[in-house]
Structure 1
Amino acid sequence: MRHLDTATTAQVGVDRVSLADREELGWLFRGQPIDDYGIDAQVEIVEAGEVVPRLLALQIKSGASFFSEPSPDGGWWFRPNAEHVRYWTNHVLPVVVLLVNPETKRCHWRVITPESLERSSRGGWKVRIPEDQVIDESARIPWRKLAEGDQSVARMRELRLAAPWMRLLESGCQLVVDDSTGTPVRTRS
């Protein structure tokens, strides 16, 4: 059986982001050990030794091919497909795309927002990943603010998470909250 270089390159990228996160930020890194669909890992904030219940979702791309299209403003263009864009913009967590440079071993990042996404001349999507946005101490404050979100963003996330339960209630189901987990449980229709 032939070993695929792309699998190694992808795993090295995830490992580099994990290492940069731990060394530079000291936050918890959770890779997705099973098939992922647009999110390779999550990070959870740690401050003064305390875990803060705030998460970011990470999409990690590794390899020289991701650095082949320089942006005139500095950095590189990343061209996600429409399916990924739809997934990321509807995700309940803030999404950060990272490009891992195998030569410099640096992890460059950009937050996915409607403002960071641009339409290409051919109708696809592109995102400029700035050269100066790397995982180091300078990422701590912007990532922390991103994980916090403003009140309206936080409320929308809560509503997205609650939507399936609200649909069940609307259909006439009764729900009770499991005291041990805080999770709603469907009791009957």
Structure 2
Amino acid sequence: MKLSANKITGRLGVNYVERVALEAGCKPIFMPEDLDTGIDGFIEFVGDAATLVAFQVKRGPSFFDNAGAKHQADARHLRYWKGYVLPVILIIVREDESEALWMDVRQHVRDSPSIVERGPFVLRPPRLQRFESAALTGVIRKLATPYQFGDAVSALCDADGETRLSALSLLYRFRMERRTPFCLAAALRAELDLDALATFCDFYSRYMSHPEVPFGADRELSAYARSLLAGLPRSQLLNLLAAFNSDEEYGDWDGATEIYSMSEEKIWDRHAVVERGTVQQGIAVVVGAAASPEQLLSVLADSEVTLGQRKAAVALFGYLGYTCDVDSVDNILGRETDAPLCALLTWLRYWLVLETRTDGDGTVTA
């Protein structure tokens, strides 16, 4: 896959932070790019006890003007940084790396809480506050805070959704410990905010069969993580389906009616219904571990459930390779009037019939 210019610039910024941290004898810890919730990583200071600061790095000509370094933030990121467990430093690097400046953005927002609601959202690190090894071993090290697993769990249980999301970056350091999927599975069972739920799924799916960037968990940890999702209540399965269908770009099934005019050569593949690299992919992995074919079939057949959730159930039923009697789909089709839902059911029926023919025995069983 070709990297975009923005991604290359971003990675070069992270590489710059890594070099400076290593020169200062610090340990850089990076969040995977597609798990970035507002933190690019951490700088760990190793002594009698490890202490850390979190960082967000920006690089390129657009982050400098005649007045110096700048970053146009938004209210969501300001709230996120304000409530973060660790100090957060914003680092801005010139494209030629001739200059890099930093600021304690968490303390800046805490000192001026009104900017979260009213702005200005432009953050400007002081001109003389250079990000270099001397700063890391001096003033930045004094900011660093020790944190334990319990701090991440406390964030995971917080009443504020942004704080709960911050727990994921905190837990990343402990991702290969059994207690981490245990706590995350409990959070998945309780989370009601759809955006947070989708992000939790994206993180959790990497313990299992996430096709993009898995954690590389061994077979035992992967199986353990999967087992923790068994017996998910139907109410939370419905929330997962709502989260799957809430994305503005990939969760809108109104265009599904094009299925009616497709030739057999062009009809969507089972796995093409979920776009690679999206949060929906992570939700699909979690649903595959948490819900049986019978559970999804009961949702898509339930007229009391919202259309969005039922459409998501059809799409995931097909994506996960689940099977059922073709008559079950025909019975649902016979009483539905929503065109996109009928189109998705027609798509699912196509694959069930095709697989029946392939099996050659005239039946497909769950």
Q: Which has the higher helix share?
A: 2
Specify which structure has the higher proportion of strand.
1
- Measure how far apart 1:145 and its partner are: 1.6
Return the match for 2:127 from 124, 131, 135.
Answer: 131
Distance 1:117 1:77 in 2: 19
The answer on whether the counterparts of 1:59 and 1:98 sit within 8 Å (CA) in structure 2 is: yes
Question: Quick one: distance in 2 between partners of 1:145 and 1:123?
Answer: 28
Say if 1:32 and 1:46 are closer, same or farther in 2 by CA, change over 3 A. same
Q: Which residue of 2 aligns with 1:42?
A: 42
Unaligned runs of 5+ in 1: 168-179
Cα offset, 1:139, TM superposition: 3.3
Matched residues in 2 for 1:130 and 1:166: separation? 33
Using the TM superposition, give the Cα deviation of residue 77 of structure 1 relative to its aligned residue in structure 2, in angstroms: 3.0
Specify which of 154, 164, 167 is matched with residue 162 of structure 1. Answer: 154
1:102-121 alignment, distance < 5 Å: 102-112=95-105, 113=107, 114-115=110-111, 119=115
Q: Which has the higher contact order (CA 8 A, sep 6+)?
A: 1
Amino acid at match of 1:146: L
* CA shift for structure 1 position 148: 3.6
Tell me the TM-score normalised to structure 2 length: 0.38
Structure 2: gaps (5+ residues): 160-176, 187-366
Residues of 2 paired with 1:8 and 1:29: CA distance?
19
Equivalent residue number for residue 164 of structure 2: none
User: Shift of the alpha carbon at 1:55?
Assistant: 1.1
Are 1:118 and 1:125, in contact at CA under 8 Å, matched by a contact in 2?
no
Instruction: Classify 1:166/1:64 alpha carbon distance in 2 versus 1 (closer, same or farther; 3 Å).
Output: closer
* Partners of 1:92 and 1:161 within 8 A in 2: no
Query: Per-residue displacement from partner, 1:19-75 (whole Å, max 9, x unpaired)?
Result: 01111x11000111242011001111024xx6x3211110011111001251xxxx4
Deviation at residue 130 of structure 1 after TM alignment: 1.8
Other structure's SS at 2:111 match? coil
Identity value in percent: 30
| Structure-2 change in CA distance of 1:164 and 1:137 (3 Å) | closer
| 1:22 corresponding residue in structure 2 | 22
Distance 1:182 1:88, change over 3 A: same
Deviations 1:111-170 (A, max 9, x none): 0112377849x7342222122222221332211221148xxxx8xxx7785365699xxx
Aligned runs of 1:17-96 on 2, under 5 Å? 17-23=17-23, 25-35=24-34, 36-47=36-47, 52-68=49-65, 70=67, 75-96=68-89
Residue 20 of structure 2 aligns to which amino acid in structure 1? A
- TM-score of the superposed pair, with normalisation by structure 1: 0.68
Deviations 1:95-123 (A, max 9, x none): 00000111234331100112377849x73
CA distance in 2, matches of 1:31, 1:93: 15
Distance 1:98 1:111 in 2: 9
Structure 1 contact 29–44 (Cα < 8 Å) conserved: yes
CA contact 1:69–1:77 (8 Å) conserved in 2: no
Distance 2:30 2:152 in 1: 23
For these two proteins, the number of residue pairs brought into alignment is 159
Q: Given that residues 42 and 55 in structure 1 are in contact (C-alpha distance below 8 angstroms), is that contact kept between their aligned partners in structure 2?
A: yes
Q: Judging changes above 3 Å, is the alpha-carbon distance between structure 1 residues 159 and 32 closer, same or farther for their aligned structure 2 residues? A: closer
Partner SS state of residue 20, structure 1: helix
Q: Distance in 1 between matches of 2:92 and 2:158?
A: 38
Distance 1:145 1:181, change over 3 A: farther
One-letter amino acid matched to 2:72? R
